[in-house]
Structure 1
């Protein structure tokens, strides 16, 4: 014998020899062992079983729910969701009077989406979105735009649905024609830009987007949004940091010409204008590609070192030349020569070679100023042809070979020695003549000799304390010819 107890939330079917015998509800049962028992827990609400077994149930025990494709069902107990039903055939226990089944089509609104309902509905069957204030959306059902979504919380049966969401801060609206047809036209503005037009989108008077030629749609829900359209065949706008940040580099050319510079503007490779110091901006588009070249007009130095040249008398030497120049016509400077420094270098070099080849070494060393004047006469007119003014050109150094330096030093030394000998002889002759004249005067006037001696003694006496003279009586008479009495010998 078998004993069986079924609680209030259980139901069962007795099966004998594979065939359902009867359904049994809550209670105690005793039956022969050759019976099998199939049990269900009615708390699970939805159940399955063999058709022959279910046929044994009383009809008031359950409800059969048939959901077509595109339909969903919710099983509620005490109006609280407890189970989710997908399309198909479902059987739900109805042994409790507070259990109900509600069916929904995909197009029906969802019931209020509570936390309990979120737990019951699988995530793949639920489409939920929060549309922010700066967003707009469109619900697409089976690939067909269905409705427009304004800011707020939205939830839909979602297995065959999807959402398209746009951020209004992006400014530009991009969508398929069938979606655009659903959007209110007051939400956006259509702008068609020709090949020579560009547009800048402003929000709150600040540039936020740059538009190239073509059809553009701009969100206009924000009343502070405006569109400025520019003709690229005219003047470019003054660039601020914000505007510079949004305009692509290839769309505009900006050049800053400093006080000591001049700019040259080219359009499609042709010279267009000279640019004075300041900031300049130009539209750059396929019909007018713009380029700007900036030339430094300050005085620059050119040094031409180690030029080996041969003089008329076959002496090889090296010259170091210098030049100071400044561009005066920037356009001519750029267009006349590829490199103004190289052109000026060559002009000075050739002029120096021509001059040195026509003079001897002595003439060159004696006429360095002549070389400078020759360089000026040759180089200045040539420099003017390529827009350059030469302020100064000249010779910095003349470098002779070592043996030539030695020879020149010897020549100079000999010349100086000869000059010194001439001067010495001239001085000796003058001194001899002076001595002869002095001797002649003293011979004619002996007293002068004595006076000279006394002057000499006086000079000596100033330098010593005492002088002793040893003279005879005759000598004293000569020293003191007018003294009275006789002198005593010392």
Structure 2
């Protein structure tokens, strides 16, 4: 015989010739010399190489163990002392009772909805995340839930979790915010055969997510093509000059035409217009020449108008001086003064008429 000491929190399993005999609880025990004693820590899962069913035939041992069976298409969430610990996959597990407070939550993976009371933060854990499908719908989005290719319901803002299995789950999302669509540099041919490029923008938002996502393969692309066709159709009925003069009318027609069709796409147009009109190099050069000629003609008109006004002013002045000798003399003195400013020295003789002598000096007939 040999003495075996089993400490608290431990359990001994006695084997004789490979067969399980009995358990040894905490304390001192005597066993046969050839018996083998395996020591188990009660704070750890119960794991032995022998078949569990054979060991459970011992009622005393069976009462000390909590056995968890996980079937196919099932998972078990194991909690230790109220804290999530791990996920148990299909199989059979045994844990010691009393030492650790275990809790087990079984889930059915064959269904789509997560009906079990499991916090979302637990679903993000590394162990369980591979078994979960998680979708987030933002505040500016509308979601559509399809299960097994069948529409189930609309989804508002929130986080939606489903078990990952063979049943297909699809969440389609539509952005409900105002969105701007731009057609950049669309090449068009006007009525007078001028090739131009127009950049057009439009602002829209989704008002019917079901129609936009399920009845149209790509509502954004369809709106883009519809705007292009409407722009091409209307521009082809106008000459280049008409387009340049009536840009606002062009935008109003395009928006009115496309707005009716946009209802079928589940969207609503709110604004739009022509951003740029790009002319070919030859047309641009010709228009620049026309503009320069127009401005030059306007400048000539202004110049002639000013010359006419100046001549009229001189004529009025001449008439006044003709009727008023004193005014004529003052005008003479004014011109003499201006000329004298440019001469350093002027010599006058005698005490005669100074003005007459100055007139004689500056006379052009001299």
2:58 to 166, 179, 182: 182
Distance 1:169 1:223, change over 3 A: closer
Q: Deviations over 1:260-280 (max 9, x none)?
A: 444333322333333333333
- Report the 3-state secondary structure (helix = DSSP H, G, I; strand = E; otherwise coil) of the residue aligned with 1:221: coil
Residues 130-279 of structure 1 mapped to structure 2, 5 A cutoff: 138-142=13-17, 144-150=19-25, 169-170=44-45, 175-182=51-58, 184-190=61-67, 199-211=76-88, 219-222=96-99, 224-229=101-106, 233=113, 235-239=115-119, 241=121, 244-245=124-125, 248-279=128-159
- Report the 3-state secondary structure (helix = DSSP H, G, I; strand = E; otherwise coil) of the residue aligned with 1:169: coil
Asked if structure 1 preserves the Cα contact closer than 8 Å seen for 2:177 and 2:205, the reply is yes
Distance 1:295 1:250, change over 3 A: farther
Separation in 2 of the partners of 1:395 and 1:378? 15
- Report the 3-state secondary structure (helix = DSSP H, G, I; strand = E; otherwise coil) of the residue aligned with 1:314: coil
Distance 1:187 1:457, change over 3 A: farther
Distance 1:414 1:311, change over 3 A: same
Separation in 2 of the partners of 1:133 and 1:460? 132
Normalised by the length of structure 2, the TM-score is 0.75
Separation in 2 of the partners of 1:244 and 1:135? 35
Asked if structure 2 preserves the Cα contact closer than 8 Å seen for 1:139 and 1:164, the reply is no
Asked if structure 1 preserves the Cα contact closer than 8 Å seen for 2:348 and 2:354, the reply is no
Separation in 2 of the partners of 1:162 and 1:314? 102
- Report the 3-state secondary structure (helix = DSSP H, G, I; strand = E; otherwise coil) of the residue aligned with 1:302: strand
Separation in 2 of the partners of 1:132 and 1:264? 60
Separation in 2 of the partners of 1:258 and 1:309? 40
Aligned to 1:344: 223
- Report the 3-state secondary structure (helix = DSSP H, G, I; strand = E; otherwise coil) of the residue aligned with 1:245: coil
How many Å apart are 1:180 and its aligned residue?
A: 1.9
CA RMSD after TM alignment: 4.3
- Report the 3-state secondary structure (helix = DSSP H, G, I; strand = E; otherwise coil) of the residue aligned with 2:301: helix
| 1:111 is aligned to 2:2 | yes
Aligned to 1:5: none
- Report the 3-state secondary structure (helix = DSSP H, G, I; strand = E; otherwise coil) of the residue aligned with 1:333: helix
Normalised by the length of structure 1, the TM-score is 0.58
- Report the 3-state secondary structure (helix = DSSP H, G, I; strand = E; otherwise coil) of the residue aligned with 1:148: strand
Q: Which has the higher helix share?
A: 2
How many Å apart are 1:225 and its aligned residue?
A: 1.9
2:265 to 386, 389, 406: 386
Aligned to 2:247: 368
The higher-RCO structure (CA 8 Å, 6+ apart) is 2
Aligned to 1:38: none
2:327 to 448, 453, 471: 448
- Report the 3-state secondary structure (helix = DSSP H, G, I; strand = E; otherwise coil) of the residue aligned with 2:303: helix
Stretches of structure 1 lacking an aligned partner (at least 5 in a row): 1-109, 114-129, 480-490
Q: Deviations over 1:161-211 (max 9, x none)?
A: 796968753489994422222253322345667889754332211122335
Stretches of structure 2 lacking an aligned partner (at least 5 in a row): 358-366
Count of residue pairs the alignment pairs up: 351
Separation in 2 of the partners of 1:365 and 1:248? 64
Asked if structure 1 preserves the Cα contact closer than 8 Å seen for 2:64 and 2:97, the reply is yes
Aligned to 2:364: none
Separation in 2 of the partners of 1:319 and 1:395? 7
Distance 1:165 1:222, change over 3 A: closer
Distance 1:392 1:453, change over 3 A: same
- Report the 3-state secondary structure (helix = DSSP H, G, I; strand = E; otherwise coil) of the residue aligned with 1:365: helix
Aligned to 1:413: 292
How many Å apart are 1:310 and its aligned residue?
A: 0.5
Asked if structure 2 preserves the Cα contact closer than 8 Å seen for 1:238 and 1:281, the reply is no
Separation in 1 of the partners of 2:157 and 2:3? 70
Aligned to 2:317: 438
Q: Which has the higher strand share?
A: 1
Separation in 2 of the partners of 1:112 and 1:170? 26
Separation in 2 of the partners of 1:149 and 1:246? 38
Asked if structure 2 preserves the Cα contact closer than 8 Å seen for 1:138 and 1:148, the reply is yes
